[in-house]
Structure 1
Amino acid sequence: MSAREQNGYTVEGAACDAEDDELELTIATLQSLEAEPGCPNGHALDPHVAVGAGFSCDRCSGTVGHGTPLYGCRDCNYDECQQCYMRTVHKHLHVLAKRRATAKDLAGAEALLSRAEVASAAFWGKHSKEYATSMTSLGALYIEHGEYDQAFKYCAQAKPLAAACFGTQHILYAKCVNNLALLHKRMGMFDEAEDLYRESLSIKAVSVGRQHEDYATSLVNLAEVSAQTCKFSEAEAALLQAREILFKALGEKHVKYATSLNNLGYLYKLMGAYDKAEPVYMEATRIRAEVCGSQHPDYASSLNNLAVLYMVMGAHDKAEDQCLSAKMIYEKTVSSHHPERIVCLNNYANVLLRAGKLKEAEEVFLQVREIRASALGESHPDVAKSTFHLADISAVMGDMQKAEERHQTVLHMSQGHAGLLALRCECLRSLASLYIKVSKFEEAHSLLLEAQEVLAMSHGCEHPEYAKLLMNIARACMKTGRFKAAMGNILFAAQIHQTSLNLVLAALPEPRRLQYIASMDEDTSRLLTLAVKHVNTFDSIRQCFHVVACRKHLVFDASLYGSALGDPLVAHDARVETDFAELRALRGQLVQHLLSEGTAAEALQSAPPAQFKHLVARVEDLERKLGKFLKAPGSLCFESNDALQSVSASLPRNTAIVEYVLFGDMDSDTSGGTCTIGHYAAFVVEAGQDTASLLDIGHADYVHALVDEFLGATRQTKRVAAGLTLRRLVLDVVVAILRPSAQHLFIAPDARLAQLPFDALPCEVGHVLDWELTLSYVVSSRDVVGWNDINKSRAQSYQFRDAPASLVVADPDFKLEAASSDDTSINTEPLVDWGCAPVFQALRGTGEEGNMVANMLARAQHEPPKSLTGPDATVNNLLQAQGPPILHVATHGFFLPASGIPKSATRLHQSLRHAADPFVRCGFAMSGADTWMRGRKPPPCAGTGILTALELRGMNLKGTHLGVFSCCDTGCGHAQRGEGVIGMGRAAMLTGAESVVLTLWRIDDDSTPALMKNFYEALLLGFGESGPLGRAASLRWAQRRHRERGEPFSNWAPFVLYGMHHGLPGHGPA
């Protein structure tokens, strides 16, 4: 039984074997012959006749009468009758034909089978078993040729003939049925193919049994047709059964078992279950590499499958890598018209398209279409698919007339074609998008409604593609003024997306989780545009808030995997602890590898060495693996399906929260493309209230300009003017709608607003800092719901005074070097001259601050704090800390933007400037940092002296009530729409810290100790009868005192508190 790949499935191929009994001719004999069989010793047989009686056939032992034709070898005294001789010739021709077909010599195989057909018809007649076998084999060969008219002629004749000669339970009859089914499937006649495959399956259940590999192959055939007609549940059941049969029959290390995994992965991709598809595909690829080798077409097929999956998932770089690798293998191993090579070529065209190489992509698409039309005919489904690709690329290139013509051609070809429902739907959507671009909105709306009917019928109403279609319809509704209909479609799509998020995020490595979430940004923008400008009802705001709050916190959730906070979410499994430990260690190695490269960082990014590639691959594998042990990301957001209810019920009494969100104003989307005009809105939720308010803040460009002017102004008057306008725009509108009893406002900022110290905004008299309303910050609204979980898990008798020792890290020895007996150079290459001045200078104020904080903590807790100062303040010592109640760090901090760094910058900048992960571009300078910056070698315990946020995520800060990062720029980081700030604060909260004090810019070493003294006085000691204050109130009080002493704005304004605002447990206001 032969097999080949088709549309991602490996299915049973056309059967061209002779009868299944073993041939008596040995392989050695066959190899020595070309067209005629011989005696057992390989000599040619000469024809003669039997003379007299007593002759017998040496092959069948039958008696041969006088005058009977014989074929014999005088040298070997060997004779056989004509019947045996012709049967041997017939079998021999079939075996040779099969060998030629395997060697891709289809013309040679056809000549041999044609000879067998003529011989069998002449000797046994056209109703014989031998003639039926020849017809079956020729039909199968023409299917492989792609000559479907000839194939149909032979297959249609072979089926009834085989039934008459062998019976309907014989294996050859099953092969005839299978050939006809395969032919109908290739011709796009899926209903007929399904009926035939079911007949073949029932025959094999009797002839070979339900645990035989041939039965499993028939299950795959049936599943492939079921999937083509969108009967996904039936297809999945068949493929899972086939996989189990093959595993038991052949074992894991077998190419057919790998093929069963490939089939299952392809089905999951069709279903939109990408989290299931990728690991199955990867396992199939691994097995094929081991069994077939890395230059085999089967291995290329697996790479091709992965490429398609990655394109669907939006991971275009990975898709291109896999596609090019597969293409190179196919070019070396198969002909230019081979079906798998054509599929790969088509995928390569898609890669070119996504890379913006439109002309090259169109040329490849045209090449694919010509090959398919020549082999399959103009009406074949694959030709329709190629035509659609050309229509799509014409639209991208701006040739609207050609694009419309090609779309209409595809719609005509797909009309009434069951196997092209998905293509028809996609074509309708694509043509609708084309009409939107040319302002034919009503025509677009009609096409999308037809597409909705088709997709609901083919995929159902819970499929991710259905959600995408709903968003298309919403877009058309907005263009035609149907705003309520648009809102309904978007909210329905959001529900479907939430389900797919739960499935997908757990299976992706972290960077791709964030990438996947970002891909839904336009959908969220369209929803917010409607809610802010067109459908501002209580119910629409409630539902919109739920979507936005879930999406915004999902970015935080997506980073939980592999962080300490993710541990309690993991199912109890011994393997997980080891994997988490390995992941943390590998992340540290990645950072150290980057730092060790120094000025070679650019080369590292363009051509990473093998070790770095291995580290990255292993980290991604672990992130993907650990994701499967975690709860679905959606379950981390809100227990109920109503975020407003959860947040309102969780807010402390007399408090409120404002959730700022930056979105694209889709009303300005006039071209049909993605909108680039930003707009701010704000959701306001008060404790115990059933409704939320949605405020229109204004254009993002205007807000950002004010933020830049306020933070960058060198003159007091200019800063005050910008600050007053900014306060009225982003804060006064919020405060104006709060109840008079509101005492605390939690701010969940977004994008550039995350870099704004709201307390420092000026008023007509003083600052917001002087208001009775206290401000503090959270990542998203979901944070306040999490506080309830923390409070419930903490014992009622828990007191901060009785907690384990806190940790103070201050005044590192930046010049710490390895012992003089060690080799003080990092490598034998000439060291880069980084200048004479220290890059990380000693900070006298941090030493004073560390001593002061340690003394105050010693008075507040029974167990004195642990201090890491001077040479002890190393990266390794800090990372070993386990949940100190308070973690205070006073040292140099840094944040490196992704661009705009001069090439003459420091070694740290040169090493990390191209790091894609924002968690790598920010951190602390620890002992030995300046030594490393100068190209010298710190002691092994100090590493490079650089601690990044990525490494900080490997800590366990569960049980840490407060982190105080009294360093420059610890509140800075990667600020994007819907993500907040990804930096040191985010890393600390991912590791389990309840709250953290951060700085939004560089802080003054001389004045900061005094501010920290005031902060800890309020937090730990309090004032008279009032007792200690809450965390947010303590920081606010310290900032006021600092300002009242006449300290400049830049010295007190940058400090902000993220997270829980309460007092320390048992030590302040709850």
Structure 2
Amino acid sequence: MDFFNQLAKGLSQGWNTFSQEMEWLALNQQVNQLYHQGNFNEAIVIAKQALTLAKSLHPGDHPDVATSLNNLGELYNSQGRYTEAEPLYKQALEMTKRLFTGDHPNVATSLNNLAALYNSQARYAEAEPLCLHALTMRKRLFNGDHPDVAQSLNNLAYLYHSQARDSEAEPLYKQALQMRKRLFNGDHPDVAQSLNNLATLYKSQGRYSEAEPLHKQALEMRKRLFTGDHPNVATSLNNLAEIYHSQGHYSKAEPLYKQALEMTKRLFNGDHPYVATSLNNLAYLYKSQGRYAEAEPLYKQALEMTKRLFNGDHPDVAISLNNLAYLYKSQARYAEAEPLCIQALEMTKRLFQGDHADVALSLNNLAALYDSQGRYTEAEPLYKQALEMRKRLFKGQHSYLADSLNNLAFLYKSQGRYSEAEPLYKQALQMRKRLFNGDHPDVAISLNNLAELYYSQGRYAEAEPLYKQALEMTKRLFNGDHPYVGTSLNNLAELYRTQGRYADAEPLHKQALEMRKRLFSSDHPDVAGSLNNLALLLIATNQPQEAFDKMQEAIEMETRLIRRNFAFSSEQERLQSIKNNRPSFDAFLSLVSQYFSDSPEQVQKALDVVLNRKSLTAAALAAFNFAIHSQRYAHLKPLFNDLQSKQQQLYHRRYNPPLPEPEQPIELYRIRLRNYQKDIAELEQQCQQLEKQLSAEVPEIRLDHQTLDRRAVALELPPNTVLVEYVRFDRYNFTAPKGEKWQSAEYWAFILPAQKPDAVQMIPLGPAQPIDNLIEKVRKVLSLENPPSTMARGGAKKGSQTQLNPYEYHPQEPNALREKIFSPLVYILQNYQNILIAPDSELSLIPFGVLPVDETGQQLLRDKYQISYLSSGRDVLRWKLETDRKASESLIIANPNFDYPNPPSLTKSPTEGLTKSGVYHSTKPVLKSLSAEGFDPLPETEPLAQTIAKKLNIPNLYLGDKALETLFSQTSCPRFLLIATHGDYEAEDPYFKLTYQLLNCPSEEEANNQISQNRDLVNPQLLLVMETQAETFVKQGKQDHAQWLRNFAEKVSEEYKISRAPNPIENPFNRFAVAPGNNAMIRGYLAFAGANTWRKGQSLPLEAGKGRLLAQDIAGIDLWENELTILIACQTGLGDVQSGEGVFGLRRAFAVAGCKALIMSLWSVPTRVSLLLMDEFLNHVQQGLGKRESLVKAQNYIRNLTIHKLQELNLTGDRDILGEFKDKRMLSQEFMDNNPDYKLLSHPYFWGAWISQGEL
């Protein structure tokens, strides 16, 4: 009985052990399956269970424990968790050594695994002896050919290849391939792997003709081996695509990349490293072709996938971060690229303690980003760190080392440090020649770069042979077309053109152009560049018509590229895109102005270009807004609302900076300030990201279906109307010597009559700077910046000039301006009564109608013409747009309680209306700069609002506490909108503007001229601003800029005997001391209930919002069925002025929001007179007159009002104009009695600021 019990017990224990061993095998199979599926996190959990089970089954050393250690180590290695992988690999190695005395396959496997880990970490010196040990052991174990020996040969070759020891790697790869061919007669996965590896080596050496057939063999073999989808087939598809991609055979590469991507998606349901790799590869192809809109989503998918796959840091995540950053850098989207580069660098530093190739690459990429932005002092130390690290990593020669030498040389060349750049370029060239025996793309690049250096120095004789060598080498490397060949042709052609060797240059430029057209089947910047370069050559060879054709083709291509990029960009990026392409726009108009200003066909086409490019970002935003508010995109409303919410958060955060506290150490304040700046940057990035998401979903933003040419505009213009399209551009002098081509800006005017698209004329107006200077002076005259003195008016004798005309309109400067910007057009315009003016740059800041007709100043342009304004002539095409929505009830807002929720303040600022000369304006301006006292109440606007509401039968009247900013989030598209409140535009600080101009002066002489022209700004405040900016430059690493500015400030201080004002940080300051950033759309706003409360830093009730409606907010409102908006607030037509893009502020905001007609002002207007003017204007509108004609009549009414007529009007209380004049001692009773027919309000100050923008 005891015997049978013991037997049963033994059988039972054996069965349990057997069962557990089977469980271990099953766990290992599961680990293997999850690993190949890319489910690393799940695989690690199972691998840990397998290891625990193996240890419980086999206390001490056992092959199963060693296998489990290896498996878990491999999983950690795959995730980049190297510090966790290493001890596991070491334990496995030591255990197998103890288990198997001497040589054993398991020991060799463990040696191989640990070597692979070290190779991944660039610990080559530790990896090599392990690889050699494994190889020699396997050779002893297996006499002759064996798969393990072939694997070791392959692994050692890969290690050498990683170190660019290609001469040692190649024979090993070949031995492995030949051995596998002998081992496996016919097709086998190992043979395919060896073919692939040798091909990859050849590709890295630029030996494409040898690499391609090997990759093809590998692909065909794998297709035969694996019927249907297989990871190895996908890998071969990718590899062959890369060969074609490298050679510029994009049409061959794309279908292979796509097949690989689709196959990996079918193979691995969900996330997998192979899928991420395929996404990255296809994205890179698209980027190479300039197809950025297609590349970006793929790069983003790859990045998000790698983040999900590898929880935390991983080399593949860092690679994806770098890839997306590089795309953004290529598009000049630097603000988005920088945080990605920094993340990649920090991640690689955490992954690889000490030196590593990936760390050096990330250092290099961040440096290159800074280099692209001209941030040279930040780029240089990073380039140097990357170079030194690569020197330590790669003893002797390496392609990465040559890259670093080349990049640092490029930086020095960009800075004009030619003597430092040259030896580095030469070292890079010589190293590449030694590394790559014969032809290689990197050698060609080095030849080209050194040639470019010589070209920049005018060393043409030295540049030419290098350019030629680069060209011949790229031709041999790339059989047929390739971007490198196109670049080499272009560069050599440009050298010949510069030397005047036009016969040599022309065929090369033509070859480059044709090649680039074949390479890039659609529009591409390189094609546009070749077209423009060929055009310059054609002009030099007296072929202006042919040059015009090429330039026109180029600029139309650039416009299509710009519009295409709009589909995935934020507003800031769209503006940057326009700026980047501005030089070619200016060059095209320079060509037309210098060679074809009297040629009808060319002038017509030039106007088409202007209509397509001027205010293009505003047109795109308007098209987006029109679409987003339609029913088609109702599903995007949550995303749109999220964007608006984020913009509000950004605004509040921006105006709540940390302020220095008396007892707080400066270090703590600096920490708070850095956190604040980080918050701002993150919110800005979130807003930009949401803008791009929305843009991608609304194709209308590309304006693809809009015909934007002179014909469409002319046919839409009302009868007897003419469009005057002003344009300002920098003049490019085609015949000037190199370095003097770009000259001062000019103004020109295009004239387009209604219904006559071919009757375009182009008129020169002269240099821009004198005109801009005159505009500034005229604005001072018009806005009555220096009114007559009180005593001169009150004490003048009857009949004296001062008494008869105390507000005399001095026409000298307005007349001089008219002579420059309007008189040259009169011989054409005299046949038209209605003029639509689309101004550009500073011309946007003046009302043309108040300029005198002649020297006498007795008659103004408005007396002869009816003038209205557009951002661009293209705006008339929006007048016929119809929406699928109905307008809501009209809305009137007036007299907000700026102190809400407290009662309104009844006291007004003691400096109300006070001018610089120490006297009072005749009437209080509605708008003034926001002073310490805040906004004053506007009770006088309330009766006007009530009168208008009654007159137009409008029930929605919001006054006092009800005049809330949040009304605009609750109301959709009021048919009529009137807002009577304070407006403000926080204009660019003149001291900062002058400092910026000084920094951009080409010489110190020019900088001195700028100081002379701005003598009124030469004071202690200017020196303070210059020092503040210098400190900013130092923080940014721009020491050169800082030193120049400080040196120049010192000279100014000595010459003008002034010293710097105290640093404001030493004085108390509030949150408004912080500039609101470079976004003009948050600097212009209208004040609503609670504006003063918010300004004081106090909380507002939720219903009051922030107490101010920003231009940015207005731009997102639906006003597409709004027929008329009136802003009884000053300077609403002002903002930041940009050539070609109009006025950024309230003016732009209402236009892109869809407002059909906008009445606004260009300077601070007097309240009581403005209320009377608006009352009269609405009377005419109610009678059925057009908006423009109604405004003209209302202005004429004010202009011609006599004292007697004002007395008859019997205006009382807050609307009593004469009473206010008398209260401010600007008008005596005696004067009124003696001069009843005197036109008190004839000066344009009282009525001329008002303009009509939009529909007539």
TM-score (norm 2): 0.70
* Partner residue of 1:173 out of 169, 191, 195: 191
Question: Structure 1: any 5+ residue segments left out of the alignment?
Answer: 1-22, 47-84, 821-833, 859-863, 1022-1027, 1062-1070
Residue 523 of structure 1 deviates from its aligned partner by 0.8
* 1:983 equivalenced with 2:1149 (yes/no): no
For residue 142 of structure 1, report the CA deviation from its aligned partner.
3.0
Give yes or no for contact 2:161–2:201 (8 Å, CA) kept in 1.
Answer: yes
State the aligned residue count. 964
* Percentage of matched positions with identical amino acids: 26
- 3-state SS of 1:279 partner: helix
The offset of 1:986, in angstroms, is 1.5
Report the Cα distance in structure 2 between the residues aligned to 1:491 and 1:1029, rounded to whole angstroms.
Answer: 43
In structure 2, the CA distance between the partners of 1:617 and 1:316, relative to structure 1 (3 Å rule), is closer
Change (3 A) 1:345 1:37: closer
SS at match of 2:476: coil
Q: What aligned pairs does 1:547-946 form with structure 2 within 5 A after superposition?
A: 547-560=609-622, 563=625, 565-567=626-628, 572-597=632-657, 608-609=676-677, 611-635=679-703, 638-639=706-707, 643-667=709-733, 670-672=737-739, 675=742, 677-691=744-758, 692-713=760-781, 714=786, 719-738=810-829, 740=831, 742-764=832-854, 766-790=858-882, 804-817=888-901, 838-858=933-953, 864-900=954-990, 910=1072, 913-946=1075-1108
User: Does 1:1052 pair with 2:1247?
Assistant: yes
Change (3 A) 1:539 1:438: same
Counterparts of 1:442-521 in structure 2, within 5 Å, are 448-460=509-521, 462-521=523-582
Residues 775, 1032 of structure 1: 8 Å contact kept: yes
CA deviation after TM superposition for structure 1 residue 203, in Å: 1.8
Over 3 Å counting, the alpha-carbon distance change for 1:913 and 1:444 in structure 2 is farther
Q: 1:159, CA displacement in angstroms?
A: 3.0
1:429 Cα deviation after fit: 4.2
Say which of 583, 586, 590 aligns to 1:529.
590
1:38–1:431 CA distance, 2 compared to 1 (3 A): closer
Q: How far is the alpha carbon of 1:1037 from its aligned partner?
A: 0.9
Deviations 1:405-428 (A, max 9, x none): 865664465352218942343355
Alpha carbons 1:751, 1:975 under 8 Å: kept: yes
Spell out the pairing of 1:943-982 with structure 2 (5 A cutoff).
Answer: 943-982=1105-1144
SS at match of 2:742: coil
Which structure features the higher share of helix residues? 2
Counterpart-to-counterpart distance in 1, 2:1245 and 2:658: 33
SS in 1 for 2:550: helix
The answer on 1:217 being equivalent to 2:235 is yes
Quote how far apart the aligned CAs of 1:620 are.
1.4
Contact 1:1000 1:1055 in 2 (8 A): yes
Aligned in 2, Cα 1:213/1:434: closer, same or farther, shift over 3 Å?
same
Q: Does the Cα contact within 8 Å between 2:974 and 2:1122 map onto a contact in 1?
A: yes
- How far the C-alpha of 1:97 sits from its partner, in A, is 4.5
Higher mean C-alpha displacement, 661-670 vs 750-759: 661-670
- TM-score of the pair, normalised by structure 1: 0.82
Cα distance in 1 for residues equivalent to 2:1114 and 2:869: 21
User: By how many angstroms is 1:1013 displaced?
Assistant: 1.1
Cα distance change on mapping 1:247 and 1:133 into 2, 3 Å: same
The CA distance in 2 between the partners of 1:33 and 1:1013, in whole Å, is 88
Aligned to 2:99: 43
- 1:366 aligns to 2:461 (yes or no): no
In the aligned structure 2, how far is the partner of 1:225 from the partner of 1:943?
Answer: 59
- C-alpha distance in structure 1 between counterparts of 2:956 and 2:611, whole Å: 39
Q: Say which SS state the counterpart of residue 825 (structure 2) adopts.
A: helix
Deviating more after overlay: 144-153 vs 106-115: 106-115
Q: State the AA in 2 paired with 1:27.
A: T
1:20 counterpart residue number: none
The superposition leaves residues 325-360 of structure 1 with CA deviations (integer Å, 9 ceiling, x where unpaired) of 433444554599865455445434433433446586
1:70 maps to none
Distance of 1:41 and 1:852 partners within structure 2: 100
Answer whether contact 1:243 1:261 (CA < 8 A) is retained: yes
Letter in 1 for 2:1197: R
Secondary structure of 1:854's partner? helix
Distance 1:239 1:156 in 2: 27
Deviation, 1:197, is 1.7
Contact 1:498 1:634 survives alignment (8 Å): no
Q: Partners in 2 of 1:512 and 1:934 — Cα distance?
A: 34
Cα offset, 1:256, TM superposition: 3.1
Equivalent position SS for 2:937: coil
For structure 2, the 5+ residue unaligned runs are: 1-62, 71-86, 388-403, 408-424, 661-668, 788-806, 905-928, 992-1020, 1026-1063, 1202-1238
Q: Following the alignment from structure 1 to structure 2, what is the Cα–Cα distance between the partners of residues 1051 and 167?
A: 99
The whole-number CA distance in structure 2 between the counterparts of 1:907 and 1:569 is 46
| Distance (whole Å) between structure 1 residues aligned to residue 820 and residue 730 of structure 2 | 19
For residue 259 of structure 1, report the CA deviation from its aligned partner: 2.4
Q: Answer whether contact 1:429 1:451 (CA < 8 A) is retained.
A: yes
SS at match of 1:696: strand
Aligned residue number for residue 55 of structure 2: none
TM-align CA RMSD: 3.9
Aligned residues of 1:391 and 1:402 also touching (Cα < 8 A): yes
1:911 Cα offset (Å): 5.9
For residue 581 of structure 1, what is the amino acid of its counterpart?
N
1:254 positional shift: 3.2
2:1192 maps to which of 1031, 1036, 1040: 1036
Residue 103 of structure 1: CA displacement?
5.0
CA contact (8 A) 1:561 1:623 kept: no
The one-letter code of the counterpart of 1:177 is: L
Deviation at 1:1019, TM superposition (A): 0.7
Q: Is the 8 A contact 1:928 1:942 kept in 2?
A: yes
For residue 176 of structure 1, report the CA deviation from its aligned partner: 1.2
**Amino acid of the structure 2 residue aligned with 1:506:** A
Hey, what does 2:1028 align to over in structure 1?
Answer: none
Tell whether the 8 Å contact from 1:323 to 1:347 is kept in structure 2 after alignment: yes
Over 3 Å counting, the alpha-carbon distance change for 1:673 and 1:461 in structure 2 is: farther
Deviation at 1:719, TM superposition (A): 4.5
How has the CA–CA distance of structure 1 residues 1018 and 999 changed in structure 2, closer, same or farther, with 3 Å as cutoff?
same
Q: CA 1:772–1:693 in 2, change beyond 3 Å: closer, same or farther? A: same
Q: 1:103 to 1:773 in 2, by over 3 A?
A: closer
- Residue 423 in 1 paired to residue 484 in 2? yes
Question: What do the CA deviations read for 1:80-107 (whole angstroms, capped 9, x no partner)?
Answer: xxxxx87666656655544553454445
Aligned residue runs from structure 1 range 257-406, under 5 A: 257-292=275-310, 295-331=313-349, 333-334=351-352, 340-341=358-359, 343-356=361-374, 361=380, 365-366=404-405, 373=432, 376-377=435-436, 380-385=440-445, 388=448
1:1009 to 1165, 1171, 1174: 1171
Greater Cα shift, 963-972 or 384-393: 384-393
* Contact 2:624–2:700 (Cα < 8 Å) also in 1: no
Alignment of 1:141 with 2:159, yes or no, is: yes
Q: Secondary structure at the match of 1:1007?
A: helix
Query: CA 1:767/1:327 → structure 2, altered by over 3 Å: closer, same or farther?
Result: farther
CA change 1:28–1:626 in 2 (3 A) is closer
Q: Tell me the alpha carbon deviations over residues 367-404 of structure 1, each in whole angstroms, 9 at most, x when there is no partner.
A: 76768749944754335435655665677789888877
Q: Distance in 2 between matches of 1:523 and 1:603?
A: 44
